[in-house]
């Protein structure tokens, strides 16, 4: 049996019998396919959630500017902006470092849950499921996909 490897793919040529040559082409990826799909799903979910949160914050800021009502900067707004930046950083990091990004996204989801618990009026779980749950799902997907991909190598 002769095998050649180029990048992520392997070519296996098997010689069988006397005078008879049978060639078998096997393309195998080094990464488990569901792990790759989970990583892509996590990145898309995280980026969509980050875009939604940033659009919400930017819209609230523009609404205050157009209404010409200037409210003082509060700890609620600052902590929400910091959590949004941390979540966006986790989404960007997910393209290079899945373990770090997964942990950062899970911590951002926990931080958003804590923020909502302290500062939201009613329906805490509903508010967290809209704002924080996508980051938790994305973080768990990243860590599980990393586990799947390291299992197969």
Tally of domains within the chain = 2
In this structure, are 64 and 3 located in the same domain?
Answer: no
3-class SS of residue 87:
helix
pLDDT at position 151 is 58
- Counting other chains too, the contacts that 10-15 makes at CB distance below 8 Å and 24 or more residues apart are none
What is d(CA 122, CA 139) in angstroms, rounded to the nearest whole number? 26
The reply to whether 135 and 70 lie within a common domain is: yes
Return the pLDDT at 33. Answer: 76
Question: What confidence score (pLDDT) does residue 1 get?
Answer: 53
Task: Kindly give the confidence (pLDDT) of every residue in the chain, 153 residues in length, as a single tens digit, with 9 standing for 90 and above.
Answer: 545 445 444 444 444 444 444 333 333 444 567 778 888 888 888 889 888 888 888 888 788 778 777 777 777 878 888 888 898 888 888 888 889 999 999 999 999 888 888 887 788 788 888 888 999 999 999 898 888 776 554
Nearest-angstrom CA–CA distance, 58 and 122: 23
Kindly state whether residues 50 and 107 are assigned to the same domain: yes
Q: Are residues 9 and 75 in the same domain?
A: no
- 58 and 101 part of one domain: yes
Do 73 and 26 lie in one domain? The reply is no
Residues 11 and 59 in one domain: no
Tell me: do 71 and 134 sit in the same domain.
yes
Task: List the domain range (segments joined by +) for residue 51.
Answer: 33-151
pLDDT at 150: 66
> Which pLDDT does position 35 carry in this prediction?
77
- Are 64 and 106 members of one domain? yes
55/118 same-domain check: yes
Alpha helices, H only, the chain? 33-67, 75-93, 98-119, 124-131, 133-151
**Cα 59 to Cα 45, 126, 132, distances in angstroms:** 21, 21, 19
What is the structure's pLDDT at 74?
Answer: 76
Per-residue pLDDT, 95: 87
Are both 85 and 12 inside the same structural domain? no
152: helix, strand or coil: coil
Q: Are residues 26 and 42 in the same domain?
A: no
């Amino acid at each position: 049996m002769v095998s050649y490897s180029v990048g992520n793919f392997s070519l296996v040529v098997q010689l069988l019998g006397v005078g008879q040559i049978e060639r078998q082409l096997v393309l195998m990826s080094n990464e488990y396919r569901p792990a790759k799909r989970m990583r892509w799903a996590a990145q898309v979910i995280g980026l969509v959630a980050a875009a939604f949160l940033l659009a919400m914050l930017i819209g609230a800021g523009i609404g205050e500017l157009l209404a010409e009502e200037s409210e003082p900067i509060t700890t609620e707004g600052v902590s929400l902006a910091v959590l949004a930046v941390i979540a966006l950083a986790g989404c960007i990091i997910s393209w290079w470092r899945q373990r770090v990004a997964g942990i950062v996204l899970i911590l951002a989801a926990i931080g958003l849950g804590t923020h909502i618990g302290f500062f939201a009026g009613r329906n805490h779980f509903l508010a967290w499921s809209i704002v924080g749950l996508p980051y938790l799902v994305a973080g768990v997907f990243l860590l599980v996909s990393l586990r799947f991909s390291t299992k197969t190598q």
